[in-house]
Chain A
Amino acid sequence: MRAFAALYTRLDQTTKTNAKVAYLAEYFAQTSDEDRLWTVAILSHRRPRRTVNTTLLREWAAELSGIPLWLFEESYHVVGDLSEAIALALPQPTQSSEAGLSHWVEYIKSLGAEEEAVKKARVQSAWLQMEHTERLVFNKLITGGFRIGVSQKLMVRALAQYTGIAENNLAHRLMGQWTPDSTTFEALVLTEDPLEDVSKPYPFYLAYALEEAPESLGPPKAWLAERKWDGIRGQLIVRKGEVFVWSRGEELVTDKFPEYAPLAGLLPDGTVLDGEILPFKDGVPLTFNELQTRIGRKNVTQSILAKAPVILMAYDLLEWQGEDIRARPFAERRQLLERLLSDTHTQGIVQPSPLVPFTEWQALHSEREHARQHHSEGLMLKRKAAPYLSGRKKGDWWKWKAAPLTIDAVMIYAQRGHGRRANLYTDFTFAVWDGNTLVPFTKAYSGLTDKEFGEITAWVRRNTKERFGPVRSVEPRHVFEIAFEGIRKSARHKSGVALRFPRMLRWRKDKPVREANTLEDLHQLLAAYEGNG
């Protein structure tokens, strides 16, 4: 695995896209077909399943390293990455191995069927044959957590450089359902036009965040506005009497959402819709939390379907009557979409995402302020004349998110950061006043500058009251403005609320602790916005 580990290091050491592609192409040129295929699979989210649970890995690593488990756990907390912590703690290797990536992936896969004692012996023996980065990569593969800063798109570009085949063609060949066990590098990558795959999606077009006011976009009449929904971006395909649903990560999620199955008989063949997979009940969207809970489940049960049913909030039509219409202007596609959905009875499973009418930009400012009342995250602005592009392109599609909710809170606990912030206190617990007591209600760990984190770290070290493992309680002396995207009731939290995407907006050095917000303020926000974020 030395070559793959060396590639990992090189990719990790650069942030330059061209360099990454060049390293990857160079690696493709030098490795075996088997390793090429596995590399393509791993970089297109087809990682092998986890065959060993991480609790066991920690125990085995601690044992082999000659340290007690608690010390391994403390180290892991500081490192922030289990695979790396294991690789660092282990003793020097006793041998080396010439075997490549595919060998080790098969080795990992074969563990699945083994007894625990055999697994342990094999994993420990593998560790002793590897250098640091090889171990790191091996651990990431075995825990199913392998990630590297190379998108599928960059991988395809590198593959194109190596094979001389056009990127588009390669991208299509790599889509769909395959695993390295079901194909070969030759058949998958080098063979022209493999099986017709009716499920093939179009690449998604992604919007940029609008940082300035929409006035910067020019005359308002060139634009349409919709609400920005808080679900999962999805592409729904009906071809040859079958339904396929893809999520934005080019993942086929049809089975996760059986609600869409009837559309096979309802929508005409040759229809591809772009929209939001949105939990929706009694005429209103539910919180993203409901959807997230649902996705986390292995099986979609009747009770889940009853609790958080989904619809497709459709906002674009990409294929119509079997024709790719992405090059047509958005306004035209939008009209065809509306016509299609009014002509077809979809039992409410597909609904057109309503346009937000406006003639002056000013009207949209107030729509954005009230976004949460419409159960949305803000607005989407789309240029009427724009074709449907692929990937994230600036200019025609903008998301204009609602301003976050905020509350001033007191820091009461601090914890050292993980990984890249291992030597700083970055994870804080915040509280609001309830009479004379401070009630913790959220944690937050982002939003400050490195300099501010350095400053607060020095302060935490000098103002610790008590230590509980990695957590320190500190004097309640600092007020932070906490921003968040939504709030909901939570029986699990002492405060009775849970926040969505909390982060530190500002360190309010100007604000005395006594002037932080109260639990009542928090409950007022809950009453006003519950479920709307």
Chain B
Amino acid sequence: MALLEFTDKGIYCEAADVYIDPWRPVGRALITHGHADHSRWGHQHYLCTTTAAPVIRHRLGNIKLSTTPFGETTSINGVKFSFHPAGHIIGSAQIRVEHKGEVWVASGDYKVRPDGISEPFEPVPCHSFITESTFGLPVYKWKPQSEVFEDINAWWRANREAGKTSVLTAYALGKAQRLLNGIDPGIGPIFTHGAIENTNAVIRKQGFALPPTIRISQQQKSQDYAGALVIAPPAATGSNWMRRFKSASVGIASGWMALRGTRRRRAADRGFVLSDHADWDELNEAIDATGAEQVVATHGYASIFARWLREEKGLNAWDAQTEYEGESLEQDKADDQEGTNETTV
């Protein structure tokens, strides 16, 4: 039995009898981050980082949750666990597992380049590395985020001059706060969909300063939105909710926007290539930095990426079946439901 195994419930450490990001209810779950496919309902006990905890509590309600600061070791049945920044969203961690001299790292979701708001990624040396490969193809290469934010600012400014509302869709958790943190709030007012404002409130409460935002409400009039930026979850754009904006340009911020076909399919006016997942170069860089000789690929293009690692990098690599979803262009169902009730705080 390897130190970490892929079972039908999740990534399992038999020596400690714990799971990492399990997708079926288990006794003890170590959670890399708060996205719905990594932190699910129904476990008896949860462990995550201090900064990931507020959002997970917000999402999952009354759960038994312990927290740990980054870098601190927790021993369970003689197995040492520690959490290290993954740079994916606030509080997101790679989980290092050490037992009898063998070291594994389960990285959850990660990106290597700093986004200005998440704790920056730290490479963790290990023997075996579990990597995501959401964008594990050489056609996915991100521009520096400063250039993307310039594009977004320019788009917003042009819309504002034309009296239009700029509606930008993004994940409620992670991408939305990264956008708020990175755009130029001097251009005009920023409105947010309820689902996003709920998450913002949690993030602000834990001490992150986001620019001022106004929750969309029934009391506002359509002229209030002229020239404003609205940040909304992806599902909102296809709904009646959009009707309140008289004249709007819709933009999508996602790594999938790198492909022209995907951009066109979403029928958005603009696609901004901005992802909280590592691009091709970052994946390779991260794997090199761990020094791991064994790599397990999950998410997305796992089998192709594993073959690349095997054949071109000489690593012992394979792909594992999981129920992680990578960067979906559809909104997580859980976040959706939160967003439908605009009066909740």
**B-contacting residues of A (Cβ < 8 Å)?**
12-14, 65, 67-68, 70-72, 74-75, 78-81, 84-85, 88-89, 418-423, 450, 454, 462, 467
**Is the pair A423, B330 in contact by a Cβ cutoff of 8 Å?**
no
- A–B complex contacts, Cβ < 8 Å, 22 sampled: A13-B269, A65-B138, A67-B138, A71-B304, A71-B307, A71-B312, A78-B137, A80-B261, A81-B261, A88-B138, A88-B139, A88-B140, A88-B141, A89-B138, A418-B261, A419-B261, A419-B265, A420-B264, A421-B265, A423-B329, A450-B265, A467-B303
Q: A68-B312, A454-B330 are in contact. Are A81 and B138 (CB under 8 A)?
A: no
**Is the pair B261, A421 in contact by a Cβ cutoff of 8 Å?**
yes
Q: Mark B134-152, 1 if CB is under 8 A from A, else 0.
A: 0001111100000000000
Chain A residues with CB under 8 A of B269: 13-14
Q: A67-B138, A68-B312, A74-B137 are in contact. Are A422 and B259 (CB under 8 A)?
A: yes
The interface size bin for chain B is 20 to 34
Smallest CB separation, B305 vs chain A (Å): 9
Q: Mark B141-166, 1 if CB is under 8 A from A, else 0.
A: 10000000000000000000000000
**A-contacting residues of B (Cβ < 8 Å)?**
137-141, 256, 258-265, 269-270, 301, 303-304, 307-308, 311-312, 323, 329-330
Smallest CB separation, A106 vs chain B (Å): 27
Chain A residues with CB under 8 A of B264: 12, 419-420
Q: Which residue of B lies closest to A67 (CB)?
A: B138
**Bound complex: CA of A249 vs CA of B335, how far in Å?**
49
Q: A13-B270, A67-B138 are in contact. Are A422 and B260 (CB under 8 A)?
A: no
Chain A residues with CB under 8 A of B139: 75, 78-79, 85, 88-89
Residue with the greatest number of chain A CB neighbours at <10 A, chosen from B138, B139, B304, B312? B139
**Bound complex: CA of A209 vs CA of B264, how far in Å?**
25
**Is the pair B312, A420 in contact by a Cβ cutoff of 8 Å?**
no
Q: A88-B139, A454-B330 are in contact. Are A74 and B304 (CB under 8 A)?
A: yes
Chain A residues with CB under 8 A of B304: 71, 74
Smallest CB separation, A472 vs chain B (Å): 11
**Is the pair B330, A88 in contact by a Cβ cutoff of 8 Å?**
no
**Is the pair A423, B262 in contact by a Cβ cutoff of 8 Å?**
yes
Question: Which of B258, B263, B308, B323 lies in contact with A88, CB distance below 8 A?
Answer: B258
Residue with the greatest number of chain A CB neighbours at <10 A, chosen from B259, B262, B308? B259
**Is the pair B312, A79 in contact by a Cβ cutoff of 8 Å?**
no
Question: Which of A13, A89, A422 lies in contact with B261, CB distance below 8 A?
Answer: A422
**Bound complex: CA of A75 vs CA of B304, how far in Å?**
9
Chain B residues with CB under 8 A of A418: 261
Q: A13-B270, A68-B311, A68-B312 are in contact. Are A419 and B138 (CB under 8 A)?
A: no
**Is the pair B260, A84 in contact by a Cβ cutoff of 8 Å?**
yes
**Bound complex: CA of A70 vs CA of B140, how far in Å?**
16
**Bound complex: CA of A371 vs CA of B254, how far in Å?**
48
| Given A65-B138, A454-B330; 16 other pairs, CB 8 A cutoff | A68-B311, A75-B138, A78-B139, A79-B139, A84-B260, A88-B139, A88-B141, A88-B258, A89-B138, A419-B262, A419-B264, A420-B259, A420-B264, A420-B265, A423-B329, A450-B265
Q: A13-B269, A74-B304, A420-B265 are in contact. Are A79 and B138 (CB under 8 A)?
A: no
Q: A67-B138, A467-B303 are in contact. Are A420 and B311 (CB under 8 A)?
A: no
Across the A-B interface, the 5 shortest Cβ-Cβ residue pairs: A419-B261, A420-B261, A420-B265, A88-B139, A75-B139
Chain B residues with CB under 8 A of A74: 137, 301, 304
Q: Which residue of B lies closest to A87 (CB)?
A: B139
**Is the pair A79, B330 in contact by a Cβ cutoff of 8 Å?**
no
**Is the pair A81, B260 in contact by a Cβ cutoff of 8 Å?**
yes
Residue with the greatest number of chain A CB neighbours at <10 A, chosen from B304, B307, B312, B323? B304
**Is the pair B262, A420 in contact by a Cβ cutoff of 8 Å?**
yes
**Bound complex: CA of A153 vs CA of B329, how far in Å?**
36
**Bound complex: CA of A74 vs CA of B307, how far in Å?**
11
Q: A68-B312, A423-B329, A467-B303 are in contact. Are A75 and B259 (CB under 8 A)?
A: no
**Is the pair A79, B261 in contact by a Cβ cutoff of 8 Å?**
yes
Chain B residues with CB under 8 A of A422: 256, 259, 261-262
Q: Which residue of B lies closest to A9 (CB)?
A: B260
Question: Which of A71, A421, A423 lies in contact with B308, CB distance below 8 A?
Answer: A71
Chain B residues with CB under 8 A of A68: 308, 311-312
**Bound complex: CA of A525 vs CA of B262, how far in Å?**
38
Chain B residues with CB under 8 A of A450: 265
Q: A71-B308, A78-B137, A88-B139 are in contact. Are A419 and B303 (CB under 8 A)?
A: no
**Bound complex: CA of A232 vs CA of B264, how far in Å?**
30
Smallest CB separation, B344 vs chain A (Å): 26
Chain B residues with CB under 8 A of A462: 323
Chain A residues with CB under 8 A of B303: 467
Q: A71-B308, A74-B304, A454-B330 are in contact. Are A419 and B260 (CB under 8 A)?
A: yes
Smallest CB separation, B309 vs chain A (Å): 11
Smallest CB separation, B162 vs chain A (Å): 12
Residue with the greatest number of chain A CB neighbours at <10 A, chosen from B265, B270, B323? B265
**Bound complex: CA of A78 vs CA of B133, how far in Å?**
14
**Is the pair A79, B259 in contact by a Cβ cutoff of 8 Å?**
yes
Question: Which of A12, A14, A67, A467 lies in contact with B260, CB distance below 8 A?
Answer: A12
**Bound complex: CA of A80 vs CA of B330, how far in Å?**
21
Q: Which residue of A lies closest to B260 (CB)?
A: A84
Question: Which of B137, B256, B262, B307 lies in contact with A75, CB distance below 8 A?
Answer: B137
Q: Which residue of A lies closest to B267 (CB)?
A: A15
Smallest CB separation, B299 vs chain A (Å): 11
Q: Which residue of B lies closest to A421 (CB)?
A: B265
Chain A residues with CB under 8 A of B301: 74, 78
**Bound complex: CA of A33 vs CA of B109, how far in Å?**
52
Smallest CB separation, A86 vs chain B (Å): 9
Chain B residues with CB under 8 A of A85: 139
Smallest CB separation, B185 vs chain A (Å): 25
**Bound complex: CA of A88 vs CA of B330, how far in Å?**
24
Residue with the greatest number of chain A CB neighbours at <10 A, chosen from B138, B262, B269, B304? B138
**Bound complex: CA of A84 vs CA of B140, how far in Å?**
12
**Bound complex: CA of A72 vs CA of B280, how far in Å?**
13
